[in-house]
Every structure is written in structure tokens, then in C-alpha cells.
Structure 1
């Protein structure tokens, strides 16, 4: 797999503490992209599945991994293998993409289908500068969706992921 970088303890690339892999190579070239150094498919460095899994295992506090970019679906087979390994460790998987869920689902690409099947939450759609907002959780522009992939695949339509209200769990009801 060709990667730009990893972050061992991200809190901005999905819910909870995450191990984030920034894949190298992106065909979208979104104006205002926060990671333009990942666009060149020949940039970055090679990383093995074993190397990335070992990095994941070093932090017992992570809740999941995030595949970001670049464009993870540009290396979908390798990303699916990494996501499968993460699931094997009991971690959840978030994947960021400039493609729309419907395009990925309907394209008939076996590697894309495999990565979707190993993704718990998909943040889809290109970054749009005119839709940029710092108020959004886990996405850069308002057009991007946080999709519950297993529910969406099961129902045959997009089901949005909703952040659990953790405070509500600990609120004592009034008597």
C-alpha cells in the first residue's frame, strides 16, 4: 500500500480515538483540499499490511481506524485487507472518499465492493470549498455525508450515521 502518513491517536478523523492512515494518490484534486500532498500517486512511501497492523496494535486505547487520503478507493484492495485486519482486532473502520456512496456501490468494482463491505462509516463526496464549515463533525464541507454502511447496504438506500449522545446515557431522569 502506498501511504502519505499515519497518525496514531487522531480525534478528528472519526468518532473516538483513531489510528488514521492517509493513503497516497487522489484523482479528485478538490480545490482547498487540506491534504494536497497526497494527490501524487507516486509520492509517499510503501507500507506493508503487517507494518500497519503492528502500528495499530501499539495503541490499546484506539477505538478504530480511519482510511483517509488521498483516495482510499484508489487502493481499495489493500485498504480492504487493512480494514479486515482492523475488524479482526475488534476495531471499527471509517473511510473517507471523494466518491459518492451510490457510485461506489453500483460501479461493480470487486475491490470497491470489498472495501465498502469492510467500512462501518463512510464519509463521502468531494470537499467543496463553498460548503466548508468548521462546525461540522468529522467532515470538511456540508455536502459530505456520514453514512452507516452496513445499514445502507442492508436497506439498499443511504442511512446516515448519527453520533450517539453519550451524555444522555449518563443523565439521571428527574423523579
Structure 2
């Protein structure tokens, strides 16, 4: 897996103070996407063990970890994302993980890695359905609290 960048002090991508990782690779190619530079999974830098540990260490003084892109659930990204989520939850069981994907929850709900994700924002970005709701780029996207099954 490759990544484009990560933010060490983010208050936009989820509740509270967060570390946000932007991975590369997205098969959805949504028209109007604000993060088009992350579509090519070969772009960016390799997500190494050192980078993973830096991100995990940064989370110590934050409320949680947010995963965006690109698409963290692109099949080529799933193994590394699963590993990151598992390690995060082992180290910080009381903190949460938010994950944005262009896939619908119904398409990916079988993925074991989602057991470690607390909030899933699903669905492709639709530029003709802009949203003013927090964390959603377009009205079709849902904020799904996986532990409770609640969505908004």
C-alpha cells in the first residue's frame, strides 16, 4: 500500500483531535472528487512499518485515527489497513477509528477489518448531491456507527 500524506493534528475528519491517513488507490473515480491525486495506487510513498509506527505513536495524544484517500478499502489496500486497524485497537482500545470509502456498507460489511472500525462513511461522492452535513461529501453518503448499527 502507498499513502499520499497524513495529518498529525486534524479536527475535520471525525470527532475530536485526530491523526488522519490518506492512502492512495481508488477505483471509484468519482467526478468532482477533491482528492483526485490519490486515485493511482502507485502514487505517493510506500506505507512502511516505520510510517505505521509513527502514525500509531502520534495517536497517543489524540482522540482517534481517521482513514481516507483514495480508498482504504480498495482491495490492494485492505491487508495493510487491516493490520493498522488491528494494531491501533490493541494499543488504544478506548479510541476510535473512522474510515471513508466509496463502497457501500452492504458491499464491504463482510470484511473482517471492519470489526476494528467504529465509524464508516460509505458511498461514492456524487457532485450533484452536495451535503452540508459534517463528514459527508454528498447526501448519498452515510455515517454508520458500526458498533451500534446506527446511521445518519
When normalised by structure 1's length, the TM-score is: 0.79
Kindly provide the CA deviation profile for residues 34-63 of structure 1, in whole angstroms up to 9, marking residues without a partner as x.
Answer: 100000111111022442232331354311
1:119 is matched with 117
- Counterpart for residue 132 of structure 1: 130
1:160 aligns with 2:151: yes
Q: 1:114 to 1:37 in 2, by over 3 A?
A: same
- 1:102 and 2:106 correspond: yes
Q: 1:24, 1:87 → 2: CA distance? A: 23
Q: Is the 8 A contact 1:49 1:81 kept in 2?
A: no
The structure carrying a bigger helix percent of its residues is 1
Partners of 2:43 and 2:51 lie apart in 1 by: 19
Normalising by structure 2, report the TM-score.
0.90
Unmatched segments (≥5 aa) in structure 2 = none
* Residue 45 of structure 2: aligned partner: 45
Pairwise mapping of residues 67-82 of structure 1 onto structure 2 (< 5 A)?
A: 67-74=67-74, 75-82=77-84
What value does the CA root-mean-square deviation take over the aligned residues? Answer: 1.5
Contact map agreement 2:18 2:59 (CA 8 A) in 1: no
Structure 2: how far apart are the matches of 1:92 and 1:117? Answer: 12
Counterpart position of 2:138: 141
Alignment correspondent of 1:155:
none
The residue number in structure 2 matching 1:85 is 87
Partners of 1:138 and 1:149 in 2: CA distance? 16
State the secondary structure of the residue aligned to 1:122. strand
Kindly indicate whether the alpha-carbon contact (under 8 Å) linking 1:53 and 1:86 is maintained by their aligned counterparts in 2: no
Which has the higher relative contact order, 1 or 2, with Cα contacts under 8 A spaced 6 or more apart? 2
Post-superposition offset of 1:32: 0.8
